[in-house]
Chains A and B, each alone.
Chain A
């Protein structure tokens, strides 16, 4: 399974939580703290590195606050310098 991570713009997030049911790996949670607008933003809690970078959360996010990255599989990563 590919590994990934998401970065959430917590200041932009309104805590609508639509990304949570969309996430197949269940790694998104509401923060305990409020952002400057008074919302509890969503944060990534992924201690076991379950996020696959599938981007379904970003697909449904109404506020475009999620950036998604996916790890390049090890073999490809090794090959990359040779390509460059």
Chain B
């Protein structure tokens, strides 16, 4: 329990920082929903009582320090290789709960091979996939998930689909594989959607606990700094620009 929590006799505690979230300051920019996703995962690990048997595989990108932010055993994979590393961990430790936390550059670009094959094998791991349509850590370059026309630091005129192709729909793609047990897309742009996202994360971990196979939750996430917006504007941008391209829904349940 958080030592800062002090409940008066006539009060109940409605919400406190989850135990699985490390008591430290994150490097994320103000308003970045990476923090929200971390918190949701930590809440789910607390609620399912999984903290002491969970192993996190962090990836390369803004979430590279995720191993510092969770109170669980953790490692940091080479760029894109988190699903392979998670496979190695889970195969020798089937009783541990193993999850990766990856961004869109890591998962949908350099790590496409690893994630597709982990899903195809029905690897009993959970993937938390943050889609913010950009490479955040390196300063906002075009990602495989960048929207058509979206301006980034490496598509300054806006993404030209004739030159650079189309965004990848990972939740649909992974959902189409027989080895995938659970593949959904949720968004973090308002309280209602955050609550839905948490439910999905919980289901994904329950799928792993039941040994049903590969589970992935794609979360539409904001990058106020690289999008050049305020945190509030960036949530509106998710709602108005990203959700039409990346429809929320269940692609395999």
CB of B4 within 8 A of CB of A69, answer no
C-alpha gap A21/B239 in the complex (Å): 15
Residues on A with C-beta less than 8 A from B232 are 17-18, 21
In the complex, chain A residues 15-49 whose Cβ is within 8 Å of any chain B Cβ? 15-18, 21-22, 37, 39
Residues of A in contact with B, size category:
20 to 34
Kindly specify which of B32-40, B60-68, B119-127 makes contact with the partner chain. Answer: B32-40
Chain B neighbourhood of A58, CB < 8 A: 14-15
Hey, what's the 0/1 contact readout for A48-65 against B, CB within 8 Å counting as 1?
000001011011111111
Assess the A69–B31 pair: CB atoms within 8 A: no
Question: A82 near B: Cβ within 8 Å?
Answer: no
Other-chain contact of B17, A17, A62, A67, A70 (Cβ < 8 Å): A67
For B15, the chain A residues whose CB sits under 8 A away are 55, 58-59, 66-68
Interface contact A70-B14, CB-CB below 8 Å: yes
Query: Are the CB atoms of A7 and B4 closer together than 8 Å?
Result: yes
Which listed residue, A16, A60, A64, A70, touches B11 by the CB 8 Å rule?
A: A70
List residues of chain B with CB within 8 A of the CB of A22.
190-191
Expressed in whole angstroms, the Cα–Cα distance for A75 and B9 within the complex equals 14
Q: A18-B235, A71-B11, A72-B10 known; A62 and B34 CB under 8 Å?
A: yes
Picked from B16, B31, B39, B42, the residue with its CB within 8 Å of the CB of A14 is B31
Complex Cα gap A59–B195 (Å): 7
Taking the closest CB of chain A, its distance from the CB of B199, in whole angstroms, is: 12
User: Could you tell me if B14 and A55 are in contact, using CB atoms closer than 8 angstroms?
Assistant: yes
| A77 CB within 8 Å of chain B | yes
A17 — which chain B residues lie within 8 A by C-beta? 31, 230-232
Q: Please tell me which one of the listed residues B4, B5, B31, B190 contacts residue A62 in the complex, with CB atoms under 8 A apart.
A: B31
A69:B11 contact, CB within 8 angstroms = yes
- The yes or no answer to B30 lying at the interface (CB within 8 A) is yes
A71 x B10 contact (CB < 8 A) = yes
Contact: A62 with B33, CB < 8 Å? yes
Please tell me if the beta carbons of B231 and A16 are within 8 angstroms of each other in the complex.
yes
Chain A residues within CB distance 8 Å of chain B: 4-5, 7, 9, 11-12, 14-18, 21-22, 37, 39, 53, 55-56, 58-72, 77
Query: Which residues of B are in contact with A by a Cβ distance under 8 Å?
Result: 2, 4-5, 7-18, 21, 25-26, 28-36, 38-39, 42, 190-191, 194-195, 224, 230-232, 235
10 closest A-B pairs by CB: A62-B35, A16-B31, A14-B30, A16-B30, A68-B15, A68-B14, A58-B15, A16-B231, A55-B15, A69-B11
